[in-house]
Structure 1
Amino acid sequence: MKICGIELKASDAILVVLETDEERFHHVNLKEKKISLGDGDVNTDVLSFKEAIDTFVIDNQIEKIFIKKRGKIGRFAGGANTFKMEGLIQLSTVGEVKLISPQTTAAMQKKNKIELPTTLNAYQHDAYLTAVTGMHFKV
């Protein structure tokens, strides 16, 4: 099974794909590491982002998506584009999309020693940990 961890930052959906057999997993080092939303106020840009997400999911045979949950209010609140992107991803063609809170990821990291693959870029670390948390807790 392939799963995808996503962190939403500014106008980017940062992507990490893991292949798993329920007990073990490994990072699938794909060429496409993020999908960007152009102008969130322009309908064609929003539709283009949705199509790019759907194509990514289908082409890579993703069965589950885990998105790092963003704050709705306060200092760490997500921007308008991240909420738009989250909604579009939730409408993707994949069967299951779950939100993972940063607190859940931190708790998982505290209990388990998670080593980051050398194939990851630094900006993909949170997306990777989100995917591992989703898979580990089977949320």
Structure 2
Amino acid sequence: MRACGCEISAQEVRLAVVQLNDEGAVEMLRLKTTRIELADDTSEADLRSFQAALHEFSREHQIDTFIIKTRARKGKMAGGAVSFKIETLIQLVDGCDTRFVNPVALSNFAKKEIEAYPEKLLVYLKNAFLAGAYALTKG
């Protein structure tokens, strides 16, 4: 199974594709595309383009499941309207399941289960990697 951990930030989704290797350890695939940006959330053409890019990404990398790190719906740290549009577009990718994981669960998972991060993991992909690894190991 291949899972794609997603962290939505501002007008982009950050993507980390992970799978279990032969020893059952989580490994992250090194990909050229690590984020997809939604240029203008009021433009139908841009929304369709973003969704097409997600579909292409999922087909190209044989993604089974997208795992999205959730964001608060209200309060100081609430996600913006654009981030929820992006979330919806991810949920609409044909042939892929979408699951959610909350930040507290990811934090606990990182402290208790992750011994080492992949070599050369880009800082902005850390939460996306954790979401994918969480889905693979916690099922």
Matched, 1:25 2:26: yes
Contact 1:29 1:119 (C-alpha < 8 Å) held by counterparts: no
In structure 2, distance between residues paired with 1:86 and 1:113: 26
Gaps of 5+ in 1: none
Gaps of 5+ in 2: none
1:131 aligned residue:
132
Equivalent AA in structure 1 for residue 111 of structure 2: K
In structure 1, distance between residues paired with 2:11 and 2:96: 24
1:108 CA displacement = 1.2
TM-score after normalising by structure 1: 0.93
TM-score after normalising by structure 2: 0.93
Matched, 1:90 2:91: yes
Equivalent AA in structure 2 for residue 39 of structure 1: D
Contact 2:26 2:136 (C-alpha < 8 Å) held by counterparts: no
In structure 1, distance between residues paired with 2:114 and 2:120: 18
Greater RCO, 1 or 2 (C-alpha within 8 Å, sep 6+): 2
- Alignment root-mean-square deviation, CA: 1.4
1:53 CA displacement = 0.3
1:120 CA displacement = 1.9
Contact 2:19 2:136 (C-alpha < 8 Å) held by counterparts: no
1:9 aligned residue:
9
Identity of aligned residues (%): 30
